[in-house]
Structure 1
Amino acid sequence: MPAEEVLQHLKGDRRRGLSEAEARERLDQWGPNRLPPPRKRSTLWRLLSQFNNLLIYVLLSSAFVTLLLGDYVDTTVIVAVVVLNACLGSIQEGKAEKAIEAVRDLLSPSACVLREGHRKTIPAEQLVPGDLVLLQSGDKVPADLRLIEVRSLSIDEAVLTGESVPVEKIVAPVASDAPVGDRLCMAHSGTLVTYGQGIGVVTATGTATEIGRISTLLAQVGARATPLLVKIEQFARWLTAIILGAAAATFAFGWLTRGLDLKETFMAAVSLAVAAIPEGLPAIVTITLAVGVQRMAKRNAILRKLPAVETLGSVTVICSDKTGTLTRNEMTVHTVVTADDEIRVGGAGYRPQGGFSRNGIAALVTADLPHLLELARAGLLCNDATLHEENGGWRLDGDPTEGALVTLAYKAGLNPAFEQEALPRIDAIPFESQHRFMATLHRDLSGHGLIFLKGAPEVVLERCHRQRRQGQDEPIDPALWHRRTTEIAARGQRLLALAVKPLAKPAEALTFEDTEGGFTLLGVVGMLDPARPEAVEAVARCLSAGIRVKMITGDHAVTACAVGAELGIGDGTRALTGTEIEGLDAPALRRAVGEVDVFARASPEHKLRLVKALREAGHVVSMTGDGVNDAPALKAAHIGVAMGQRGTEVAKEAADMVLADDNFATIAAAVEEGRTVYDNLRKTLLFIMPTNGGEGGVIIAAILLRHGPSGHPLADPLG
């Protein structure tokens, strides 16, 4: 819907904003702009609920019987195990409730609005639909806004979409069914303004916002039992039934068939039950899991819940976000296309290491690729980003796309300080979403001028009438560039074109008229957030271990397929989008998740549906992520895995495990550790059950052979 129609629908005033009286009426109608606090249970109630478990009932019963028998040591051990288990469960459940609280902390505390023609700062809770909100760089968006005016406005929406690059905002309307990542005319609550200014009219507040819907989803996702707890519950049921059945049969046989004393026979049956109950099992399970947690912590996998250790060993499907988990979250130039040829760029991330190759053959920049040097210089000078080396790594200050160009210049052997001194900048036209390019004016030491231009290929190409080939200018070939840019885009790479315009007598200022034509195209670069090398190896290890890996991302389908192919996930050609997911019912989605491994443009609801579909298909699911948009799926999975370095507090609180190094390879290592824990638990059961069964068997044999106790129950069944 056009911005003016939105204003009319909300009865807003573009020049004066709402009146205070109207704002108060709407506040009464719509309520405050905040998320409702989660419903909490008292600490005592949480503690008592931990005893609502069949195995706990059996253990408490056995503790009572051992107390009657005078075996105070066993009674103390059993009660201590039960109380410790209840305390741990209560503490973990309390931590889980913090996930929803963490979402509420993302909301902005204040907002700059236009009321009665005056700018004023008000608490964000007082915002109402129809309010005009003024945004500038560094602001946290206080509500969902329909933008009506933008000036170079870019917003980091990673918490909602997972995309690593800030989104350039526009005023023009988009499709009504566009996913969150494509709503370029909207600013969503909780996201961060990284550049520029804008004005938006409030369209949704509180739980009606996108982040409010995520909070609602989190509240709706109930606590789920881990496979270990489910198995223990099932084990407790049939073990209890067998033990009680055996005790009842033994009592009936001894009293009715053998004619034994009623009291002695009853005590023998009770002793049988106590002997057969593996009262040491909870303690052994807890200790085994605790050791597993400690070993995983040494491998950068921090477990927040003990049973999650064993769950890792049972995982059959790992669902992972893309940005920052499977990829480095650092834009990197992969391809450089000039009129002469196509050049592949080695290396990954902002570390300036990596060579160049042409047709698979390594090339020396200065000797073999002089045209690349000119393009890299243009990308370096028409740029506002800087790279700094810190503690053995490289830190970017500025836009990730511009950071990738600075890294390319370093790889080409250029020195930023020297180049900026040789061609100092005189003026610049900053990048804005309206014109989609950046231009800088430079003057060399001889007084000659240059205008460097970088931007979207279609925008730059229309300003170029010539192209640079083998150091000479020639008429541009539009068909050539259309074909080459289409090929690079099909690989999922973001495109950026660079051009130059010489000036005999440069002016002191740069105007838009100076950028309307007369440029020579230097080339086009294709960049991509590269896959982590260790993640490629980890995916291969998971697949060889029989664990399927699925990538669920908010990024575009083409990009998702390209990264998936690099990682070995999917076939590189097929991705199921969020729009397609919405068109599938539950049975069709269960079939689809069994066939497709890459999912793109996925919203929080889509991620949640995919996790549930996998669970319904019988899989043990691990979900990894770092953003607020991942939290509902993290909570719904059998084991949620959050990123420790880049992850939001919402994701960490909703997860069962936190990766200290944000590395997908750590998940694969944790799964191996989990399988070891599972194997240890299985061996424990194989040892305990015959031992306890033997103790009970002695009592059964004594009854069958009429050698029951005389005046006292059979010998201490617990040994």
Structure 2
Amino acid sequence: MSERHLDPVLSAGWHALSGDEVGQILQTGPDGLSDDEALRRLGQYGSNRLAPPARRGPLARLLMQFHNILLYVMLGAAIITAALGHWIDTGVLLVAVLINVIIGFIQEGKAETALDAIRAMLSPHATVIRAGHRREIDAAGLVPGDLVFLSSGDRVPADLRLVSVRELRIEEAALTGESLPIEKGTEPVGVDAALGDRYGMAYSGTFVVYGQAMGIVVATGSKTELGRINQMLADIRRMSTPLLRQIDEFGRVLALTIIGLSAATFVLGTLWRDHAPAEMFMMVVALAASAIPEGLPAIMTVTLALGVQRMARRKAIVRHLPAVETLGSVTVICSDKTGTLTCNEMTVQRFVCAGHVFDVGGVGYAPAGDFSIDDRIVEVEHYPALSLAIRAGVLCSDARLREEDGLWRVEGDPTEGALLVAGRKAGFSQHAGDTAWPRTDAIPFESQHRFMATSHLDPDGDPWIFVKGAPERILDMCEFQLNHDGERPLDIDYWRRMATDTAAQGLRLLALACKRSAPVAGPLSFADAEHGYVFLALVGIIDPAREEAIDAVGECHRAGIRVKMITGDHGETARAIGAQLAIGVGKPFITGAEVAVMDDAALRRVAMELDVFARASPEHKLRLVKALQDDGQVVAMTGDGVNDAPALKRADVGVAMGLKGTEAAKEAADMVIADDNFATIATAVREGRAVYDNLKKFILFMLPTNGGEALVVIAAILFELALPLTPAQVLWINMVTSSTLGLALAFEPAEGDVMNRHPRPPGEALLSGFFIWRVLMVSVLMMTGALGLFLWELDMGTSVETARTMAVDAVVMAEMFYLLNSRFIFAPVTNWKGLTSNRHVLLAITACIPLQIAYTHADFMHGIFNSTALTPMEWSKVVAAGLLVFVVAELEKFFIRRSGLAARLSHA
């Protein structure tokens, strides 16, 4: 047997072949493989393990932090200043570079471990039949053709084609998105059957919740479905975020502008003004230092980190720092259904009795909710058919409902658990049923019979038999139905009509019936199921939408964000949940099989037009995310299963569920929702938008500082003036004062209309035309104050050192006042709220004042920066230069508001 020999089979699918055909192809008999053959195949196919991922070491991670064009410019300037012997300037430049590199290294986050999480899902052991003997082996030693035995509680160790089954049900939600355990068989299915419809297969990493089976290993290691997802994850590169792309583009343009201005200034100064090249170079270094926003990488990191802390308090744990801001630019949220938009807890929502349809309130396993008819709450005991149906559902069950630490959990089949919860809501507990209605015998559910039956004695000692199962099977067993006024002949057309109506709403159907008699021949047998039952009710069960998710989806829609459901579940179920959530209402759903045959252009069109996608495999989810990104959307993907992991990693923001999510999903995601609440995502989007607003406010605050310094230096060079600012003084302003002050803007609360705006266009420039005007205006004001004061002092005979000290203090004072202006882009700050509502702004100014006093009056600072002490009169001139910026900036806001431009510019 060779790989080439298996290729045609692999392309067709093992699920499409019978068990006998699989045994013949893999040369496996009832005694399994011999030890020698198993050893040979192990050498041929390799161990049943997934390959570990390549990792980047700490040194490589550290070196990558230097890969920033602004840092390259600063390093180049440091090298040249060192060659010229200006060691203080060199030291300040290198310190600025190292601070940014260290912060970036710390914040990069832990290495990718999604692949580790998938490998951890592989079963450590397997029970095989080899050479006719059953034995337990390390699952890594499994090979194609091995005969594997499965029983309740096992994790499936490899992909198996089942050849014999005894009431086998497997939990596949992590792989397929199915809400319920899948009932397995041995019959082949169509070649194009979706993963969740391949009933004759058991897949590696899934969990056996009931029954036993024997299967032939058809794939191990990287050839399994888990292996394919593992490879998909390994092949996906994490996307850059919109902000990082904007900052990168902004950095490149700014660096090229700085280099161009510096080169032009150097040439003009040496050739036109005949300055010495060494002197001119130091002027150019000052120009470059004044224009480079050294604090931007550090402040961006701190601002994002503060956003992380605020999100953590709201149950959103951010794993990759840039995801904080990316949430604010999301235009589409693609959500898994099971466990994300829904509770992943089956819930009875409807009882259909003869003549009455009862709605059941509440969601999930918590037994809280009412029974109602047409929104009118009713008492269960007033309706005999409903009361007896609920009793039948509780008694005819092997599941258990328990409360642990305030959380309700079901042990056993989720459908039976849903009936127990409905019983609790009606006041009928399982414990009370066991005591008052003791069970005397039972027939377990079997797929060929499609029902379960139990016999009981009521409190008077009279015998009863209760059955539950598929509606068509239970109807065949019934002759009567229980009406409000007693037993009547069965109205088969009514029940079929109600079954069709209930199923059309996406609910899974179950039927309940009873018979007041004892078993015919002692033990309960199938002969007792032939006839004579009274039909009680149809039960509609669904994994319901979270109530808070309904509100959250509505908030996302109001914020201009499209919400799409991509699930592995059935189409009608997906459409019903979508209708509850206002997702895809009035539109058709599309299946994974239809996605698979579309080309990329058609898929982009469909991905934008439709909102509900059902029976989607990991490949389909990944293609849909890519299609939306190719259309220019910023995509967030939510999910909890292994099948969601590739799409979570590919999305601009991957959001995993923390309580019920698999480790593979969590490790592939950028963010984990600790409470599994979709509403937390909407809260995180609000926080992300606030973070972006604050980053823009910081840039709008920082650039005029750099611009004003650059204009001061350029003016001095062009007009052959003494240099008002040295490179070291410029770096003092940028790294110490402007960064200290600008940090306060990271604490600005979200503005009131932040969730009423549409998402910003993904290709939007970091600075709009208006922002460029604001930067130029404030830059000119700062330059006017600082350079004007410098020239005035020189004209009065003040020393160059004192005039420079006043110029530096004038720039810093202007920054303090402009920080207040920057709190609101258009709103005034000349009121109590504007001046005091962000205490961090006041603290930053308070912290900056002693730093600047030390710069001006401390002797050790004089030795480093050539600064000098100032007199009270000189300080008053500095304050006046700062007030010039504040007053003109507030007047500009006033005229913009007066002209009605503020509303348009705020969304520009």
TM-score normalised by length of structure 1: 0.96
| Corresponding residue of 1:429 | 443
Q: Output the amino acid matched with 2:649.
A: K
**Aligned-residue offset at 1:310:** 1.0
**Distance in 1 of aligned mates of 2:257 and 2:196:** 56
SS class of match (1:717): helix
Find the counterpart in structure 1 of residue 389 from structure 2. 375
Whichever residue aligns with residue 439 of structure 1, its letter is: A
Give 1:346-361 correspondences, 5 Å limit: 346-361=361-376
Identify, as 1 or 2, the structure richer in strand. Answer: 1
Q: Report the 3-state secondary structure (helix = DSSP H, G, I; strand = E; otherwise coil) of the residue aligned with 1:681.
A: helix
Q: What residue is the counterpart of 1:7 in the other structure?
A: 23
Match in the other structure for 2:490 = 476
CA contact (8 A) 1:157 1:191 kept: yes
Tell me by how many angstroms 1:73 deviates: 6.5
Pair 1:443–1:34, CA change in 2 (3 A): same
Partner of 2:730: 717
Matches within 5 A, 1:280-359: 280-359=295-374
1:552 aligns with 2:578: no
Q: 1:145 aligns with which of 141, 160, 181?
A: 160
Q: After superposition, where does 1:371-520 map in structure 2 within 5 Å?
A: 371-503=385-517, 507-520=521-534
CA drift of 1:505 comes to 6.5
1:55–1:233: 8 Å Cα contact kept in structure 2? no
Q: Provide the C-alpha distance between the structure 2 equivalents of 1:504 and 1:83, rounded to a whole number of angstroms.
A: 80
Q: Considering fraction of residues, name the structure with more helix.
A: 2
Counterpart amino acid of 2:425? K
Q: Hey, what's the Cα distance between the residues in 2 that align with 1:41 and 1:339?
A: 67
Alignment of 1:23-172 (within 5 A): 23-64=38-79, 68=86, 70-71=88-89, 74-75=92-93, 77-88=95-106, 91-92=108-109, 94-96=110-112, 98-172=113-187
Q: Tell me, what secondary structure is at the counterpart of 1:562?
A: helix
Q: Distance in 2 between matches of 1:392 and 1:206?
A: 40
The whole-number CA distance in structure 1 between the counterparts of 2:613 and 2:445 is 32
Match of 1:666 in 2: 680
SS where residue 142 of structure 1 aligns?
coil
Deviation at 1:526, TM superposition (A): 0.2
Asked whether the 8 Å contact 1:328–1:531 carries over to 2, the reply is yes
| More displaced stretch, 284-293 vs 257-266 | 257-266
Partner Cα distance (1:262, 1:64) in 2: 16
Tell me whether 1:578 sits opposite 2:596 in the alignment.
no
Inter-CA distance 253–42: structure 2 relative to 1 (3 Å threshold) = same
Displacement, 1:413?
Answer: 2.6
The yes-or-no answer on 1:630 pairing with 2:648 is no
Give the aligned partner of residue 197 of structure 1. 212
The Cα of 1:603 is off from its aligned counterpart by: 0.7
Contact 2:659/2:676 (CA < 8 Å) preserved in 1? yes
Contact 2:636/2:655, CA 8 A, preserved across alignment: yes
Matched, 1:527 2:541: yes
Structure 2 residue identity aligned to 1:701 = A
Deviations 1:51-76 (A, max 9, x none): 22323323433554676451366335
Report if the CA contact (8 A) 1:160-1:628 is conserved. yes
- Calculate the aligned-residue CA RMSD, in Å: 1.9
Residue 259 of structure 2 aligns with which residue? 244
Partner Cα distance (1:556, 1:224) in 2:
31
Q: Secondary structure at the match of 2:165?
A: strand
1:177 aligns with 2:205: no
Query: How many angstroms does 1:264 deviate by?
Result: 2.0
Contact 1:708 1:714 in 2 (8 A): no
Q: SS at the partner of 2:338?
A: coil
* CA drift at 1:411: 2.0
Indicate the SS of the match to 1:71: helix
CA 1:356–1:63: 2 relative to 1, 3 Å: farther
TM superposition shift of 1:197: 0.5
By relative contact order (CA 8 Å, sep 6+), the higher-ranking structure is: 1
2:288 to 252, 264, 273: 273
Cα 1:173–1:701 change in 2 (3 A) is same
Q: What residue identity is the alignment partner of 2:721?
A: H
Separation of aligned partners in 2, 1:465 and 1:62: 94
Partner amino acid, structure 1, of 2:153: G
Whether contact under 8 Å (1:551, 1:564) holds in the other structure is yes
CA distance in 1, matches of 2:27, 2:159: 17
Question: What is the CA–CA distance in structure 2 between the aligned matches of 1:62 and 1:174, rounded to whole Å?
Answer: 69
Q: Which residue number in structure 1 is paired with residue 830 of structure 2?
A: none
Secondary structure of the residue that 1:323 maps to in structure 2?
Answer: helix
1:253 equivalent in structure 2: 268
| Residues 1:222 and 2:237 aligned together | yes
SS where residue 135 of structure 2 aligns? strand
**What is the distance in 2 between the residues matched to 1:63 and 1:584?**
55
Matches of residues 595-614 of structure 1 in structure 2 within 5 Å?
Answer: 595-614=609-628
Q: Is the 8 A contact 1:311 1:639 kept in 2?
A: yes
Report the Cα offset of residue 548 of structure 1: 1.1
Q: Which amino acid in the other structure matches residue 48 of structure 1?
A: L
Matched residues, number: 713
**8 Å contact from structure 1 (residues 156, 193) kept in 2:** yes
Deviations 1:533-555 (A, max 9, x none): 11111111111011111111111
CA apart distance, 1:476: 1.9
Seen in structure 2, the aligned counterparts of structure 1 residues 505 and 270 have a Cα distance that, compared at 3 Å, is closer
Task: Give me the whole-angstrom Cα distance separating, in 2, the residues matched to 1:393 and 1:676.
Answer: 34
